[in-house]
A and B are shown apart, each in its own frame.
Chain A
Amino acid sequence: MATDRKAEVTWSGDLMSGAGRIDSVTSGAIGGLDVSWPARSEEPGGKTSPEELIAAAHATCFSMALSHGLGQAGNAPEELKTSATVTFQPGEGITKIALDVAGRVPGIDEAAFQEAAEQAKQNCPVSKALAGVPEISLSARLES
């Protein structure tokens, strides 16, 4: 079954001095988010950007995939805390995504957690869609 998710954006003016807004999305969870080129490429000043949204998407997808893998092995996580940092080089593109996860997972050892995290990094749908990123790094650790 295919699932569609849509987002609507408006923009006025040229790239450097114009401004835009993420008006609405299918779920209604976000809306009215301002975007601009200076906020994207310099100091954000509280504004989101495509790269931040990609970071949010990737961290979310990775976390779900990791919970799936851990759960299949009989060790569903009590908690996962994941961050994704997207590096954007204007003029070149997105050059790196760094995933970092700390997990509280009963009944598992460090090596098994590392392996599950690596599998999640390789197999979550966002990772597959972003396979063109030159470097996707992963740092994973168990917390007690």
Chain B
Amino acid sequence: MPRVQREANVTWEGNVARGSGAISAATGAFDSLPYSLATRVEKPDGKTSPEELLAAAHAACYAMSLAGELAGAGSPPEHLDVNATITLDQVEDGSHRIVASELLARARVKEMDQETLARLAQTASEGCPFTKLIDASATVTVTATLEGETDGD
């Protein structure tokens, strides 16, 4: 397959503590999203952040990877709910690090048992390009449940 390029453009004005900027996607899918340091590390106040964008990237990447694994096993999902939570933490030297990404998936899949889903869910994480990249610096965890079976709804 040919290689794919995706671009985003951001601006920033001022110092880190009081300045602010805006984020735009080259595809036009989102445009002029404001960001700042205070809303990155404290309450978001309606503003996105690098970590939130990575959470969206990871959830979307993982949903596609899991759909691929399930389809490959003969059971394409009727519906997947995936969420990713990225944790930014201050480490010993005072700098910030992305320390974890937690993936949760709920799957509505015909003819699938929980054990098979759990195995495919793990394989899907390993096959997601984003998991591969952050694995070295952050802990990636995966929890997958069959919808309507384990959690009762």
Contacts and interface: CB of A to CB of B under 8 A. Distances in A.
Identify whether the interface residues of B are mostly helix, strand, loop, or mixed.
mixed
A118 interface: no
Interface residues of A, number: 83
B13 A57 contact: no
B35 A60 contact: yes
Nearest to B59: A9
11 contacts: A25-B55, A27-B45, A29-B46, A30-B33, A49-B60, A53-B60, A56-B53, A82-B10, A90-B1, A126-B54, A129-B97
Residue of B41, B54, B96 with highest tally of chain A CB at under 10 A: B54
A10 B51 contact: no
Contacts of B3: 87-89, 95
Contacts of B97: 125, 128-129
B151 to A, nearest CB: 16
A49 B4 CA distance: 11
Contacts of B65: 15
B57 A53 contact: yes
B50 A58 contact: yes
Residue of A35, A51, A88 with highest tally of chain B CB at under 10 A: A51
B16 A71 contact: yes
Given A33-B30, A44-B29, A83-B10, 14 more contacts: A5-B88, A6-B86, A9-B83, A18-B76, A20-B64, A29-B33, A50-B129, A57-B53, A57-B57, A58-B50, A81-B11, A88-B6, A129-B98, A130-B133
Category for how many chain B residues contact A: 35 or more
A59 B15 contact: no
B148 interface: no
Interface of A: 1-16, 18, 20, 22, 25-30, 33, 35, 37, 40-42, 44-61, 63-64, 66-68, 71, 76-91, 93-95, 123, 125-126, 128-133
Given A46-B27, A125-B96, A132-B132, A30 B60 contact: no
Given A1-B41, A27-B45, A9 B130 contact: no
A52 B7 contact: yes
Given A29-B33, A51-B4, A128-B97, A3 B54 contact: no
